Structure 1
Amino acid sequence: MSNIKLIIEERPSDIGNFMVGRLLPFREKRMVGPFSFIDHMGPALMSDHINLDIPPHPHIGLSTLTYLFEGAIMHKDSLGTSVEIKPGQVNWMTSGKGIAHSERTPEYLRHTNKMLHGLQIWVALPKDLEQMEPEFFHADADQLPVWEENGVQYKLIAGEVFGHQSPIPVYSPLYLLELKSTSKTNVKIGDQLFGESGIYILEGGVESEGNTFGPKQLLVAKESSLCEFTLLANSTIYIFGGEPFPEERFIYWNFVATSKELIEAAKTKWLAQEFDPVPGETEFVPLPERKI
């Protein structure tokens, strides 16, 4: 019997002036462990007059993780952070009770042709920390644990697993791993994983019990302890997951919370523009009109 519980295909989604491939949430699977949202950005060739411009917008109840394969994004937030995100680095912003940030093409790239490609991920906070003070953490590529085993190159982007720990300050048991292989290789790692687990295939493919899966597919395991598959040659995949929360999470726009009351309060606060401002920014994304 197959250990693959669900196969999720990327769905096109418009985030303003940029199209992404939405993976989570999905109608049949809202979260995988604490992971509540995953967008695959690009790969997009942006000409000299097209730029990423997402004005200040708010978040509550989650941490955002930005991980780029190509290109660059200038991140600015209401804590006063101003940092350029480059490929291989990890941008980790914890919203807690509330934060606002903008994401734009850096000034020096705005009049050139450029690529943008990466992952945007939300990780929900545990109930007792969803109203914590907002924080920001940035890790360079050389700070992330990397190792090789049976011909597979591993990188631990966030969390703790396989006896390695990422420097990213996560707030619940989780893992986000990158696996790369240049040759066809059997991977058996279920005894190292825990909670719920998913595999996102960026390039190449995965074989499991006679079935082959390819790029832009997200595979959700029935049991992470049975995670065994064949990684095809020249493949890059991301394994993510962790312990699920006992409480339901409500998601409205950029807000994640254990109660609708917290989301309603955040909506009111954003409508009144009472979130701390992002220094140097005057625009903002208006609150969309839709139900929780």
Structure 2
Amino acid sequence: MSNIGMIIEERAADIGNFLVGRLLPFRQKRMVGPFIFIDHMGPANLKDYQNLDVPPHPHIGLSTLTYLFEGAIMHRDSLGSEVEIMPGAVNWMTAGKGVVHSERTPGYLRTTDKQLHGLQIWVALPKALEQSEPSFTHVEAAAIPVWQQDGAVIKLISGTAFGKTSPVPVHSPQYFIKIQTAKGQVLHIGKDLYGESGLYILEGSVISEGHAYGPKQILIAKDSTLCSFETTDNTTVFIFGGEPFPEERFIYWNFVSSDREVIEKAKQDWLEQRFPPVPGEMEFVPLPEQSGHLKQK
């Protein structure tokens, strides 16, 4: 990447009974385009007595995107959706004015050794859609556009780029792209990007101006249209971004909004359990301590 404006290192975060690598938000960079939150899960080798169990918890003002490299997660939500997420598929849940979901190891894997590795992402909604009705879409891996270009394998997981559009129903101009190179090479893809852009290195290395960057780093471009980078052999990167919103966004726990009062109402609604329940689930994640402050973009 010839125009790196910022480097973000993965930071450890605890989501209850599972450690993840937090990438966004970052103190100096709250969002990249509409992308406001990225967690790197794993890679984790779980024993037969270890499972992912995130009880029902709420969201507002965003879409969640879950993308797995290994393992499986059972998604259940207050819309009645019950879907097992498998590697390469896309789980896209738009919270709008409010949705609740749980994420757990599927029943058939709970007493066996297993692996879990993937990305969990939040994409903020345009202001006009922050209070829209919630919705859920699951897109199987086979439906995601993938092609070879200049020696690289490119997959357009969501959004629009390279003259193609993913079937994931996004709500603003954006892209989430996977690029794999078996051999080291230079890629010039800036002409296909727009807005703000970040590059996450999953495996291998990216070389720019004599410096090598490795896994667990996000490289933020100064200008997405100038995006070019050299990879080493067997490198996998994800490029994400798009058009930023004109209004700032606030984030508290699982709530995102351009209006602080909307977040305060959501906090009270969750405290008083006014969100819709997840069918068949009785427990829930409590609201964090009230000492937390709303965080600006």
For Structure 1 versus Structure 2, the TM-score category normalised by the shorter chain is over 0.9
Q: Report the TM-score, using the length of structure 2 for normalisation.
A: 0.97
Residue type of the alignment partner of 2:71: G
Q: Quote how far apart the aligned CAs of 1:2 are.
A: 5.2
Look up the equivalent residue of 1:231 and give its one-letter code: T
C-alpha deviation, 1:209, in angstroms? 1.5
Equivalent residue number for residue 188 of structure 1: 188
- Structure 1 runs (4+) deviating above 6 angstroms are none
The within-5 A match list for 1:142-153 is 142-153=142-153
Aligned partner of 1:167 in structure 2 is: 167
Aligned to 2:245: 245
CA distance in 2, matches of 1:193, 1:163: 10
Question: 1:150 touches 1:185 (CA, 8 Å); kept in 2?
Answer: no
Identity of aligned residues (%): 67
Q: What is the identity, as a one-letter code, of the residue corresponding to 1:21?
A: G
Give the SS at the match of 1:212: strand
Counterpart residue number, 2:293: 291
Q: 1: CA distance between counterparts of 2:220 and 2:79?
A: 35
1:29 aligned partner: 29
Aligned to 1:136: 136
CA distance in 1, matches of 2:293, 2:165: 39
Letter in 2 for 1:168: V
5 Å-filtered alignment, 1:199-278, equals: 199-278=199-278
Once the two structures are superposed, what CA deviation does each residue of 1:93-133 show, in whole Å capped at 9, x if it has no partner?
00000000000000000000000000000000000000000
Q: Distance in 1 between matches of 2:224 and 2:138?
A: 29
Count of residue pairs brought into register by the alignment? 292
SS in 2 for 1:117: strand
Q: Distance in 2 between matches of 1:261 and 1:205?
A: 43
Residue 200 of structure 2 contacts residue 217 of structure 2 at CA under 8 Å; is this kept in 1? Answer: yes
Instruction: Give the CA deviation at 1:188.
Output: 0.3
Equivalent residue, structure 2, for 1:10: 10
CA distance in 2, matches of 1:51, 1:40: 17
Q: Deviations over 1:171-209 (max 9, x none)?
A: 000000000010011100111100000000000010111
Conservation of the 8 A alpha-carbon contact between 1:125 and 1:172 = yes
RMSD (CA atoms): 0.9
TM-score (norm 1): 0.99
CA distance in 2, matches of 1:118, 1:2: 27
Question: What runs of 5+ residues in structure 2 fail to find an aligned partner?
Answer: none
Partner amino acid, structure 2, of 1:146: V
Secondary structure, counterpart of 1:159 in structure 2: strand
1:12 shift after superposition: 0.2
Cα distance in 1 for partners of 2:192, 2:46 equals: 40
- Bigger drift between 277-286 and 1-10 goes to 1-10
Q: Deviations over 1:28-77 (max 9, x none)?
A: 00000000000000000010001000000000000000000000000000
